[in-house]
């Protein structure tokens, strides 16, 4: 393929640097140019070659496409075929791109905002530091525990230890604070001991499963908890009693709800 | 050794106790031209500094123990949050003016339980796969939300349509080079519009140790650290996305945590292991937002009335000054 140079002259008709399309090389020349959306036909004749200021004659073309083509033909009558043809071609192209501009301005323009590298880097670094400072997990856990304390969850979660302690504190409100604390600690210890005993003694698989089922259907219907129950039941079925102490202890909240209520009076008598 | 009593490193002999080496008074480690020697001297200087610091600490600790009860209280280390420049628009919990404002602003119908939030999530033109998946996951996290594709529609035209169909909020996720990087949150019936810069977006599959998909239960909302007036209004905007009554059975919580003007969004499932311990497991996407501008009306970039714009030259001058 033949490569061609571009012509830098603004009055050039085709844009390429040829002998036939150079405005400097030809004394009779014409171009179509547009200014602010209107197209003009520029003509150069040999008679005005001595007057550079009046060299290029400008004719405004009509906005109507066909009429403008006729006007070009009128003005360039008896001119070489090449120039006439190229003028009309150029005019067509110009009108097409003007139409496109008008259509695009009606649509939404995408505004390109340049990124500033230094600022981006700075913001990324600050974000990392902020993330470390935020300690999100701790903050979320703290907030959830606070909400639990303030009873926003109502009756869904029973942690009888808390309630038991509260009841104890109310009972022993008359005696001194120190003995209170001691008693509470003792009671807690007794409780723990009792709890442990009970878990070991009544750790039969069937009763666990039944009780857990009752618990689930009564309060919540959740897949996850049922899964946990099943897991626990399967654990109890597969392993013996002693290895169960681990997961049993971890899952105490669920079991305890049952047993503690039954045995509360006995522990109280023991404490007294 | 010739200079300052320092042995050549090739010797293999450690220099004797540094205290014995006397540096001439105008000596500075950075003036040695030889890189190896300079490094060596610097390392030695550092060790010396560390030793002095340790000695100082020990002395202080001994003094503190000696004083016993009369010792002055421990000094609190300075953090950026401690040193934060006091913002005069910080909201006092008992402020009546703020309470009155909040009772009459655009979110009042939501907080009075008159409206149920319905959210439309959309993207910029021609979203790429990552953005699409992010939109879908966001839609699962926020209840009562719908994702619609934006096939070249102008925002100004879809807003009246949304209002006609009873949507309360509009989220537009802007995308650049195949990753989402901006978020426009607009409260619909004539509410404020917030424009955020979004960063570090992680989809569900990129989160480690995640749980199963978020269920349909309405999650709880935690808004942390929104102290100033501006932060308060942004916080309310976020709260208005979620239905007012969370379903505690679902045990899901969506957190918007503001730290140094960065808002971190996380979605967790929690479980109370005991009274004092809670376990959380992250599910759902995560991202961070940084507020760029807050407009009074709905989205209008040319004629809108801006309540707050981030002006870099004026607002980023101090490292201890935050606006949210």
pLDDT for B18-77, tens place per residue? Answer: 566 666 667 788 888 999 999 999 999 999 999 999 999 999 888 888 887 777 777 888
Check: CB of residue B295 under 8 Å from CB of residue B308.
no
Check: CB of residue B143 under 8 Å from CB of residue B284.
no
d(CA B185, CA B35): 56
Q: How far apart are the first and last CA of chain B?
A: 61
pLDDT band at B125 (very low <50, low <70, confident <90, very high): confident
pLDDT over threshold 70, residue B7: no
Mutate to test the interface with A, among B264, B275, B278, B320 (most CBs of A within 10 A): B275
Strands (E), chain B: 119-123, 145-147, 169-176, 179-187, 193-202, 220-224, 252-259, 262-272, 278-282, 286-295, 306-309
Confirm or reject contact between B255 and chain A (CB < 8 A): yes
Helical pair A117-134 and A136-149, crossing angle rounded to 10 deg: 40
More confident residue, B15 or B155: B155
Contact call for A127 and B290, based on CB within 8 A: yes
**Burial class, B55, CB count within 10 angstroms (exposed 0-12 / middle 13-18 / buried 19+):** exposed
- Count contacts between A and B (CB, < 8 Å): 85
What does CATH list as the number for B91-316? Answer: 3.40.50.10480
Check: CB of residue B209 under 8 Å from CB of residue B281.
yes
Decide: helix, strand or coil at residue B123. Answer: strand
Nearest chain A CA: its distance from B252 CA (Å): 11
d(CA A270, CA A190): 8
pLDDT band at A167 (very low <50, low <70, confident <90, very high): low
Least confident of A230-239, B224-233, B300-309: A230-239
What is chain B's mean pLDDT, rounded? 84
Residue extents of the structural domains in chain B: 29-66, 91-316
What pLDDT does residue B4 have? 53
Contact call for B268 and A140, based on CB within 8 A: yes
Least confident of B116-120, B149-153, B182-186, B193-197: B149-153
d(CA A94, CA A97): 5
Confirm or reject contact between B224 and chain A (CB < 8 A): yes
pLDDT tens-digit series, residues B220-245: 999 988 888 888 889 988 988 888 88
d(CA B119, CA B148): 11
What pLDDT does residue B286 have? 92
What pLDDT does residue A76 have? 94
d(CA A9, CA A22): 8
Task: Classify strands B278-282 and B286-295 as parallel, antiparallel or unpaired.
Answer: unpaired
pLDDT tens-digit series, residues A196-206: 444 444 334 44
d(CA B189, CA B106): 8
Question: For chain A, give me the number of helices (H) and strands (E)?
Answer: 10, 3
Task: Classify strands B252-259 and B262-272 as parallel, antiparallel or unpaired.
Answer: antiparallel
pLDDT tens-digit series, residues B174-207: 998 889 999 999 988 788 899 999 999 999 888 8
pLDDT band at A230 (very low <50, low <70, confident <90, very high): very low
Note whether A35 and A77 are same-domain residues: yes
CA gyration radius for chain A?
A: 47
C-alpha distances in Å from residue B43, one per residue of A165, A207, B12, B47, B49: 58, 69, 16, 6, 10
Q: Which of B220, B264, B290 sits opposite A131 (nearest CB)?
A: B264
Nearest chain A CA: its distance from B266 CA (Å): 9
Confirm or reject contact between B309 and chain A (CB < 8 A): no
d(CA A194, CA A207): 19
Tokens 């209008």, residue located: B300
Identify the CA nearest to A76 among candidates A129, A2, A13, A135.
A13
More confident residue, B213 or A68: A68
Q: How many CB atoms lie within 10 A of CB B130?
A: 14
DSSP class of residue B231 equals: H
- Percent pLDDT > 90 in chain A is 46
Decide: helix, strand or coil at residue A135. Answer: coil
Decide: helix, strand or coil at residue A94. Answer: helix
Chain B positions touching A137 (Cβ under 8 A) are 280
Tokens 């197209």, residue located: A39
Contact call for B200 and A127, based on CB within 8 A: yes
Contact call for A133 and B266, based on CB within 8 A: no
Name the residue in chain B with its Cα closest to that of A116: B312
Highest mean pLDDT range out of A159-173, B97-111, B241-255? B241-255
Tokens 């309630």, residue located: A163
Calculate the CA B60 to chain-centre distance: 37
Q: With b meaning 16 or more CB within 10 Å and e meaning fewer, what string describes B157-179?
A: ebbeebeeeebbbbbbbbbeeee
Task: Please give the residue range of the domain that contains residue A68.
Answer: 29-106
How crowded is the C-beta side of A54, counted as CA atoms within 13 Å? 5
Name the residue in chain A with its Cα closest to that of B224: A139
C-alpha distances in Å from residue B255, one per residue of B107, B225, B270: 19, 11, 12
Calculate the CA A131 to chain-centre distance: 17
Least confident of A118-127, A132-141, B114-123, B300-309: B300-309
Note whether A95 and A126 are same-domain residues: no
Chain A positions touching B290 (Cβ under 8 A) are 123, 127
Chain A residues interacting with chain B (CB cutoff of 8 angstroms)? 107-108, 119, 123-124, 126-127, 129-131, 133-134, 136-137, 139-141, 143-145, 147-148, 153-154, 156-157, 159, 161-162, 220-222, 250, 252-253
pLDDT tens-digit series, residues B266-294: 999 998 888 788 889 998 899 999 999 99
pLDDT band at A28 (very low <50, low <70, confident <90, very high): very high
pLDDT over threshold 60, residue A133: yes
Q: Which two tokens stand for residue A69?
A: 């083509």
Check: CB of residue A190 under 8 Å from CB of residue A267.
yes
Q: Which of B79, B80, B224 sits opposite A139 (nearest CB)?
A: B224
What pLDDT does residue A66 have? 95
What pLDDT does residue A245 have? 41
Chain A positions touching B126 (Cβ under 8 A) are none
Asked, for residue A99, whether it belongs to a domain, the answer is yes
Q: How far apart are the first and last CA of chain A?
A: 108
Contact call for A148 and B312, based on CB within 8 A: no
What pLDDT does residue A159 have? 67
d(CA A11, CA A8): 9
Chain B positions touching A256 (Cβ under 8 A) are none
Identify the CA nearest to A80 among candidates A26, A41, A42, A39.
A26
SS3 sequence of A178-190: HHHHHHHHHHHHH
Question: pTM for the whole thing?
Answer: 0.65
pLDDT over threshold 60, residue A96: yes
Confirm or reject contact between B273 and chain A (CB < 8 A): yes
- What's the rounded mean pLDDT across residues A166-185? 57
Mutate to test the interface with B, among A106, A107, A143, A151 (most CBs of B within 10 A): A143
C-alpha distances in Å from residue B81, one per residue of A159, A211, B25, B90, B311: 35, 50, 40, 14, 22
Q: Which of A108, A134, A250 sits opposite B259 (nearest CB)?
A: A134
Asked, for residue A89, whether it belongs to a domain, the answer is yes
Check: CB of residue A13 under 8 Å from CB of residue A21.
yes
Q: How many structural domains compose chain A?
A: 2
Task: Classify strands B220-224 and B252-259 as parallel, antiparallel or unpaired.
Answer: parallel
d(CA B266, CA A267): 44
What pLDDT does residue A174 have? 55
Confirm or reject contact between B213 and chain A (CB < 8 A): no
């Amino acid at each position: 393929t033949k490569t061609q140079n571009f012509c830098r002259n603004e009055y050039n008709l085709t844009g390429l640097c040829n002998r036939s399309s150079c405005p400097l090389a030809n004394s009779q020349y014409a171009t179509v140019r547009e200014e602010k959306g209107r197209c003009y036909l520029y003509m150069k004749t040999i008679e005005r070659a001595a007057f550079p200021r009046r060299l290029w004659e400008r004719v405004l073309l009509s906005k109507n496409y066909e009429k403008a083509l006729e006007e070009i033909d009128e003005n360039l009558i008896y001119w070489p075929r090449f120039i006439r043809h190229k003028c009309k071609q150029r005019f067509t192209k110009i009108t097409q791109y003007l139409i496109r501009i008008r259509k695009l301005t009606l649509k939404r323009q995408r505004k390109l905002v340049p990124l500033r590298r230094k600022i981006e880097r700075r913001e990324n670094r600050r974000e990392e530091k902020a993330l470390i400072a935020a300690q999100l997990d701790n903050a979320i856990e703290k907030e959830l525990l606070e909400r639990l304390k303030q009873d926003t969850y109502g009756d869904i979660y029973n942690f009888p230890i808390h309630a038991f302690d509260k009841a104890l504190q109310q009972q022993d409100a008359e005696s001194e604070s120190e003995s209170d604390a001691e008693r509470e600690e003792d009671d807690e210890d007794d409780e723990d001991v009792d709890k442990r005993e009970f878990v070991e003694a009544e750790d039969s698989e069937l009763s666990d499963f039944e009780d857990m089922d009752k618990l689930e259907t009564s309060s919540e219907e959740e897949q996850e908890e049922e899964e946990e129950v099943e897991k626990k039941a399967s654990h109890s079925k597969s392993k013996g009693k002693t290895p169960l102490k681990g997961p049993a202890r971890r899952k105490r909240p669920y079991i305890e709800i049952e047993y503690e209520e039954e045995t509360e009076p006995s522990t109280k008598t023991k404490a007294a | 050794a010739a200079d300052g009593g320092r042995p050549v490193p090739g010797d293999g002999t450690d220099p004797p106790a540094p205290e014995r080496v006397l540096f001439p008074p105008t000596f500075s480690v950075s003036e040695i031209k030889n890189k190896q020697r300079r490094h060596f001297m610097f390392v030695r200087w550092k060790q010396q500094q560390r030793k002095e610091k340790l000695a100082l600490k020990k002395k202080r600790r001994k003094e503190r123990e000696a004083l016993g009860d009369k010792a002055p209280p421990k000094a609190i280390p300075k953090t950026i949050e401690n040193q934060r420049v006091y913002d005069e628009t910080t909201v006092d919990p008992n402020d009546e003016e703020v309470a009155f404002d909040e009772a009459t602003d655009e979110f009042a119908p939501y907080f009075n339980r008159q409206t149920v939030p319905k959210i439309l999530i959309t993207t910029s033109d021609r979203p790429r796969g990552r953005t699409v998946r992010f939109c879908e996951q966001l839609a699962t996290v926020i209840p009562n939300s719908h994702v619609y594709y934006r096939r070249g529609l102008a925002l100004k035209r879809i807003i009246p349509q949304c209002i006609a169909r009873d949507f309360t909020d509009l989220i537009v996720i802007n995308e650049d080079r195949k990753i989402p990087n901006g978020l426009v949150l607009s409260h619909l019936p004539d509410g404020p519009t917030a424009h955020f810069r979004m960063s570090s977006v992680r989809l569900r599959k990129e989160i480690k140790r995640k749980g199963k998909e978020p269920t349909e239960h309405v999650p709880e909302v935690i808004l942390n650290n929104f102290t100033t007036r501006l932060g308060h209004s942004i916080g309310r905007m976020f709260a208005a996305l979620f239905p007012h009554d969370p379903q505690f059975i679902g045990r899901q919580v969506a957190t918007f945590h503001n730290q140094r003007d960065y808002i971190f969004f996380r979605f967790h499932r929690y479980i109370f292991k005991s009274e004092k311990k809670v376990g959380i497991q992250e599910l759902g996407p995560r991202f961070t937002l940084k507020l760029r501008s807050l407009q009074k009306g709905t989205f209008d970039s040319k004629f809108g009335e801006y309540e707050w714009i981030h002006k870099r030259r004026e607002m980023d001058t101090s490292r201890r000054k935050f606006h949210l």
